[in-house]
Amino acid sequence: MTKLTLTARALAPLALVVGACAVLSPIALAATRGPSRNFNGPTGIAVGGGDVWVTNVSGNSVTEINERSGRVVRVLSALDYGFNEPIAVAASPTQVWVTNQSGSSITDLSAASGLALRVITGDSLSGPAGIALGASKVWVANQLHLTDSAGNSIPYSNAVTELNTNSGSLVRVVTGNPANGLEGTNDVAVAHSRVWVTNANSNTVTELSADTGAVVRVIGAGAGHFDEPQSVAVSSGRVWVPSANNNTLTEISAATGAVLRTLSSPTDHFDGPTDVAVAHSRVWVTNPYNNSLTEISATTGSVVRVISAKKYHFNTPTDVALGDGSVWVTNQFTNTVTELNATSGALVRVIH
């Protein structure tokens, strides 16, 4: 991948902390547009503290956008950040956490200054992908297998890593095994006292206790509900999971783990759905193969709208995040970010 070199602000001294994490591989599709001044392979996106944060997997950088104005505040790309194929990002009003897939590390940033607080590495991190923030913990899904002393891949060795948000220190590692389904872990979500993890290789969703890390249940094993489940989002007692291989969106009860329904019809226009975001009785799903965004009613499961017009500049829409009245989408191969009105679906702006 071509690296985009940009000037970043001076960095504070970094702290090295042992941790773990994992990340999804970029999807190769469509014609690629050259890197812009602000984006180079934008993939992950998160909103927090009045800013929008975007990871650039090809540029080894992170772009900060003012949520209200859409103005690019800065692009962080100095070597001291430790960015190495940054894929996913999670943000709070004070901290921004980035997973580095090839670097098998996590970068913790100050949301106020953009300075690096620490780069977290260690044996517990192996291709970190999805990342989610709880009240005082960070949860990371590690996509790559661990290896034995001979360098051989260990089956079911995908791990979920829990870190302390204040210190970056390791809290625990939940290692995969055939019983807990952690195999090909893609994404992670946290709500209340539960953690949900999607497993692309075992076609399951694993529910963990956020307090102890113990497995609560494995959802979907042998039931055929999932086929390469990608991301996961939780809202209002429901868990939503898109599956890329069978073009579906599955709704799960957060209380019981029961599958409530699986959505898949021509009107959904699901095509390799990768990411999902939920808020205010609406569910948004990115479709990178047909360059569209599907909006679903969380109440009825019916399609509200499918957004795909040329003016939106969707081209391999990879990730979606919700802000204050807006929906934000990264377009990996046109190096743009699209902002939509969350109520009407109308285009607000395209940021280059």
Sequence-distant (6+) residues with CB within 8 A of 140 are 19, 20, 21, 22, 99, 106, 125, 128, 129, 130, 131, 160, 161, 162, 163, 188
Q: Given the structure tokens 């970094």, which residue do they identify? A: 14
pLDDT of residue 223: 76
Closest listed residue to residue 76, CA positions, set 131, 118, 39, 125: 39
CA angle 62, 26, 103 (to 5 degrees): 60
pLDDT in the model for residue 19:
30
Report the pLDDT value the prediction gives residue 16, as an integer from 0 to 100. Answer: 33
pLDDT number for residue 17: 36
Both tokens assigned to 244: 């890329």
Name the burial class of residue 61, with classes exposed (0-12), middle (13-18) and buried (19+) by CB atoms within 10 angstroms of its CB: buried
Which distant-in-sequence residues (6+ apart) come within 8 Å of 122 by Cβ? 17, 18, 19, 20, 170
Mean pLDDT, the chain cut into blocks of 10 residues (352 residues total): 28 32 33 71 97 97 98 94 98 98 96 97 92 96 83 80 97 92 95 96 96 96 87 97 97 96 96 96 97 98 96 96 97 97 97 96
161-171 core/surface letters (b: 16 or more CB in 10 A; e: else):
bbbebeebebe
Domains and their CATH numbers in the chain: 15-351 (2.130.10.10)
pLDDT number for residue 9: 28
Q: What is the DSSP letter of 33?
A: P
Q: What's this model's pTM, rounded to 2 decimal places?
A: 0.89
Asked if 331 and 293 touch (Cβ cutoff 8 Å), the reply is no
Looking at residue 11, its pLDDT comes to: 31
